[in-house]
Every structure is written in C-alpha cells, then in structure tokens.
Amino acid sequence: MKPISLVIVLIALLSAVAGQVFLKKAMESSHGAAGFRSRAVAIPFAAGIGLMTAQFFLNLGLLQRYDLSFIYPFQGLSVIIITFVAAVTLREKLTLQLVAGSILISVGVALVSLT
C-alpha cells in the first residue's frame, strides 16, 4: 500500500467516526418537539451527512486500486475509536464487556486487514 493511500484511508476513517457522532447527536436532538426543523438537529445532521459523503468518495477511490476484502476492514478500526468517542462526547455508558467486545472486533478486523 502506498503512503498516500494510507493517508486517504486515515482521512476516510476519521470522517466516518466524526460523521457517526454528528448523526447520533442529531437523532438524539430530534426527540424534541421541533424535530428536524430545529437547528440543534439540522446542523449536526448536515455535518454528519457531509462527512459520510466525503468518506463514500474516498472509499470509492480506494476500491478502484485495492480489493474490497483488503480495504474494507481498515474501517473496522473505527469500532474501538467510536466506542470511546461516544463515551466521551455523548456520555454513553462503557462496560467492560463492551470494551472487550470492541477490542476483539478491532483485533479481528486488523487480522483480516494484515493478511
């Protein structure tokens, strides 16, 4: 894998993580009466969709060069990142079992990627 491709993989990964957090924030705020008309929903929703769209095109460019079964698992590293980011930014509860499961998933994904 070329260094530039690795950078694109990392940017795609960070876009995916930030996109998910923004979407979760938007959907949490959508429980209110104003729904999607509220700025508290619309702004994080637009940010989330924008980041996911950027990740989509970066991913498409990577797929034109590498096998799907090689590129896709890199995104699995987002599991452990999102689990911790959700705990910090969204104040979600972290259990030992959740952390252990996330680590197992990430290690599994890394093994799939390394081969």
Partner 1 sequence: MTTQSKPTGFGNPWFQLGISIACVTVYELLLKRGAAETANLSPRWSWTGLSGLASIYVWIAIVFVILSLITWLHVLRYIPLSIAFPISQAVHVLVPLGSWLVLGENIIGLRWIGIALVSLGLAVVAKPVARLEEEL
Please, are residues 38 and 32 in contact by the beta-carbon 8 Å criterion?
yes
Q: CA nearest 10: which of 64, 29, 18, 84?
A: 18
Rounded least distance, CB 66 to partner 1, Å: 10
Cβ contacts of 81 within 8 Å, gap of 6 or more: 13, 17
Residues engaged in binding partner 1 (CB under 8 A): 8, 20-21, 23-24, 27-28, 30-31, 52, 56-65, 67-69, 72-73, 76, 78-79, 82-83, 86-87, 90, 92-95, 97-98, 100-115
CB-nearer residue toward partner 1: 13 or 62: 62
CB-nearer residue toward partner 1: 31 or 39: 31
